[in-house]
Amino acid sequence: MSAVVMDGKELAKSLRVKMKDEVAALKEKGITPHLTVVLVGDDPASKSYVNGKKKASAEIGMESDVLELPDTITEKDLLDLIDKLNSDEKVHGILVQLPLPKQISEQKVIEAISPAKDVDGFHPINIGRMMTGQDAFLPCTPSGIIAMLNENNIEITGKHAVVVGRSNIVGKPVGQLLLNENATVTYCHSKTTDLKSYTTQADILVVAVGKPHSIGEAFVKPGAVVIDVGINRMENGKLTGDVDFDAVKEKVSYITPVPRGVGPMTIAMLLKNTIKAAKGLDLQ
């Protein structure tokens, strides 16, 4: 058995075609969805990611701009800028690219963005609404994972989902979204003893730890669905995931590659959230 490889790049492309129609319909009503990305410093990975967002926005007819700031900016100046963007009616979505320089509190920045413009889905109000199953802006990578499972007609209800990693950006929220879809969810992390005893029980295994090839063939159950969120650059310059793709793909039913897996879906969900923001999400 060789796994079906879930091509996130192709899926994101097909989703963008639908979004293009949504944007065109909004434009007819005089609304052009507008995303503003704030980039502090010149981290090459962040720059590349931001350029991808800008290109995808243009492709579906959405407006986007990137505000590039020096990494010496003070926390107060960044918070003042966010305040201005919050009150700018033309801006529907605000995204501050993480990580931020040491002098700036990421939590303060996340909480300063208006929940109604928080297209990253990180504001405590959106996280709280997600936890309680209310309408919200969902974090982009976790919601992209759910979209991949749904688009591939993978049953989530009643399945045992194991999430390896507990970050606020991926691990915790993807577990919650799987729970919202009626999976039974187990979280594993760096302090978990006997990781293999949990991962080999998983019908759906989501790995987001940032360690290349930390999950090998012995860690997966035959026929499992494996979602690899890790993006690691090897010494030879190639990108690879947290899962040993070549070893695992012969044992499981579905697997995401790295690259072309979860990454493109993250950007697609960001666009989806920005369109939703332009339509107006009532967060009262």
3-state DSSP assignment of residue 275: helix
241 marked among binding-site residues:
no
Does residue 97 carry a catalytic annotation?
yes
Paired with 93 in beta bridges are 35
Alpha-carbon distance of 281 to 212, in angstroms, equals 38
Residue whose entry in the numeric block shows the structure tokens 């129609």: 21
231 marked among binding-site residues:
yes
Residue 39's H or E segment, with its range, is: strand 34-40
127 marked among binding-site residues:
no
Cα dihedral 84/87/90/94 (nearest 10) = 60
Does residue 7 carry a catalytic annotation?
no
**Active-site residue among 97, 228, 249, 276?**
97
Residue 67 gets which letter from DSSP? E
Alpha-carbon distance of 263 to 267, in angstroms, equals 7
**Active-site residue among 117, 118, 120, 272?**
120
**Active-site residue among 9, 13, 47, 53?**
53
166 marked among binding-site residues:
yes
* DSSP-assigned letters across all residues of 149-162: HHHTT---TT-EEE
Does residue 108 carry a catalytic annotation?
no
Q: Which residue in 250, 277, 262 sits closest to 12, CA to CA?
A: 262
Token pair, residue 217, equals 């063939």
Q: Which residues are known binding-site members for NADP(+)?
A: 165-167, 231
Catalytic residue positions, numbered: 53, 97, 120
Q: Which residues are known binding-site members?
A: 165-167, 231
